[in-house]
Structure 1
Amino acid sequence: MVTISATPQTGYSFLQWNGGGLTNPFESTTTIKITEDANISAEFVIQYYSLSVGAEFGGDAKGSGSFRHGSVVSISATAAQGYQFEYWEIDGESYSIYPFTTIDIKSDLNISAVFSIKPLSSNLEVTSLIALDWYDSSWFGVFFQSDNGWVYHLEFGWIFPIINQSENLWFWSQKLGWIWAGEETYSEQYLWSEAFQNWISWENNDLDSIRYFDFLNDQWVDWER
């Protein structure tokens, strides 16, 4: 009995031996009984690997699939409204800071797109730091920026802003739900209410409370901060 072995090159895997007299043709190392001249060949196949592309929150990531060893695969990350792309991550390590990039396939991989909330402080037009974590916007007023995205606004109390453009934003308040504020209309003290599906006008003559005029129902509404 003669022992024979087959070693695949990188990116390939052993499939089987072709020929007669083999003890086990599906083992890369096996034996063969020699009783006459024999031609034995090893058969290899290229390996395919799984690429899993995803994101926990804040956006969408694409590019998952099964690919041949050595493939160069394009992956993409798109931030949801109010979020921004930070980087790609593989096994806890940063891979790339570009939302559209490529990755070499040499093994099974799990890659995640990491997004973060767009901070109001760095995305509103003409905003200046006036104290630790306190900012003054040229049109949206004074607010405190927390690390988790929540903002304490001097007029509206705690709000959760979603901003895509520096001159307008959506924010959520426990009292009135989602509110849209734009630079031009805000200066006239007008806000758009998603719940009312109408404009509301706000006034803050009393520092302890603000009230809003609901044009749809023709009444004043108290905003409790």
Structure 2
Amino acid sequence: MEETGEPHLRGCAVSFTKLKALLAADLYRYAGRVDLKSFVRHYAFTPGYKYTVLMRTCGWLKRKPAKAFGLYPLAKLMLLRARYKYGFAIPEYTEIGPGLFLNRFGGFYIHGDAVLGSNVNLTHGVVLGYMNRGARKGAPVIGDRSFLGSGAKIIGGINVGEEAAIGVNAVVTRDVPDRGVVVGIPAKLISDQGSDGYINRMAPEALLAACADAYPGQRREKAQPAVVGALQA
């Protein structure tokens, strides 16, 4: 589906059951288990998880008739309050796979047309922005089990492959292959060791399976190995 730069519903959970499954997978990334005690603890004291709960809940309510009879505006207000309090700017309709981990807080900006896979790690200062023109028009697609270091910037229709690692303050201007490690400004490929060791407490397959078809969006093609030579140039 083409990016529009406008609000949409592609990343909004289609049912309450799927919403719970997504939040359970997210919780596992923080707690290593899924239970009520862990939910209360991390919702109360972990900014990343609290924002994720508000974001996904707001997206689910956005799909309801008449915007859930007033509950959506209330949820949206709570989400905006959390945005300004914690420094997370991630729209509720962004297509984000299960097992999202927001490390620390402050300075996150994710465009609503960006696509993130499952078990992705984002560190403070990450920007996934939209390009309005040119060959890279659109927003980034981030593959499963990828790690984005503090201050990483990815702008435009760039594909980051699965299990990739983006270095601190890297500015990514080209596609990154599966398991690629890129650093610098502009980012260059330095190894194929990927994100091994950086993605802890990954949501297990059972939790990921429960999230299948949680939202109707479709991911674009991921980065292909052919881009390796370009990144090394």
Q: TM-score by structure 1 length?
A: 0.28
Identify the structure with bigger relative contact order (alpha carbons < 8 Å, sequence gap 6+): 2
Which structure carries more strand by proportion? 1
